[in-house]
Structure 1
Amino acid sequence: MKEKVNENDSIVNLSTEKFGNLHIKKKNIIAFDNGVLGFEDLRQFVIVNIEECLPFEWLVSVEDPLIAFPILNPMPFFTDYNPMKFLFDLAPLASNDKEDLEIFCMVTLGNSPTDVTINLKGPIFVNMKNKKGKQCVLTEDYYSLHHPLLRA
């Protein structure tokens, strides 16, 4: 009897500059219909956890693994951060349950911890169930592109 192979369990090999060779399950690939800002032609990404980088994670392009962005869940650092109240167009993520959505923000790393900034103006929403993602731009002036992650 031949064993049935599930397409989602197959492995994609990514050769990255920062992390060497990564073996990613296809089911963990997140589809961004519009890419991310500045990289609209890249539509498939994966979130990579590297233990020595935590709490930072990396959003790595499947199509061009040399493209990788440090990301962070902003909620533990900014308890009053609420981009959901400014968003009306999360329909592409097909989520009826906000529990399925995770929020990440891109981070700019600096030479010292006080130089690290986070982009609160362009949050990334990921439906962890169906693996769809979308980066949104908040038009309100309340949030910054380069908000200090730590206060000096």
Structure 2
Amino acid sequence: MRIQTPLFGEIEIEEKQIVTFSHGIPGFEEETEYVFLPLDDSQFVIMQSVRSALYFIVVNPFPIYVDYHFEIPRAELTQLQLESEKDVVVYNIVVLRDELEESTVNMQAPLIVNIRSMKGKQIVLNQFQVKQPLFPNGIHVTNG
């Protein structure tokens, strides 16, 4: 299947790559199918809608915030058909700013993906902040 993306142009994806968010994500309920596309050699991933130009920049939160731990509520475990923690991938939505050090990551509403069933859901965790610094230890630039 071919899809049009704002960042990569027209690309070919396979149906088995599509993650279904049965109720969309808050604010974008009409968009229910996404594909996750790595962004070069970075830690960032593009969560691209299969049906429109909508996309989000997401990141695996655990390398950034090593103390980020939570339990997935039982209702979401059932909805996502999660049986093993090995089937779970967690992403958080990033908001990039012109001044990169001002960029944030939404730690309050992680995206939970079951990579076996290819079902996803954004859950809300009240113990975390919506706008956490994306670079809590500052930006480190190295010459490579």
TM-score calculated relative to the size of structure 1: 0.84
SS at match of 1:89: helix
The share of aligned pairs that are identical, in percent, is 28
SS at match of 1:83: coil
Higher helix share: 1
Q: Distance in 2 between matches of 1:28 and 1:42?
A: 16
Aligned AA (2:134): L
- Please report the RMSD computed on the Cα atoms of aligned residues, expressed in angstroms: 1.3
- Structure 1: runs of 5+ lacking an equivalent: 1-11
Q: Report whether the alignment pairs 1:46 with 2:8.
A: no
Query: In the TM superposition, what are the counterparts of 1:85-124 in structure 2 within 5 Å?
Result: 87-90=73-76, 91-124=78-111
Select the structure of larger CA radius of gyration.
1
Which residue of structure 2 aligns with residue 55 of structure 1?
43
Q: Which of 7, 30, 36 does residue 19 from structure 2 map onto? A: 30
Aligned residue pairs total 136
- Structure 2: runs of 5+ lacking an equivalent: 139-144
Shift of 1:48: 0.7
Q: What CA deviation, in whole Å up to 9, does each residue of 1:43-98 have, x standing for no partner?
A: 1110011215x21001111111x1000000101111111132x6232211101101
Aligned AA (2:46): W
Contact 1:83 1:123 in 2 (8 A): no
Aligned AA (1:87): P
Q: Distance in 2 between matches of 1:35 and 1:58?
A: 16
SS at match of 1:150: coil
Q: Report whether the alignment pairs 1:129 with 2:116.
A: yes
TM-score calculated relative to the size of structure 2: 0.89
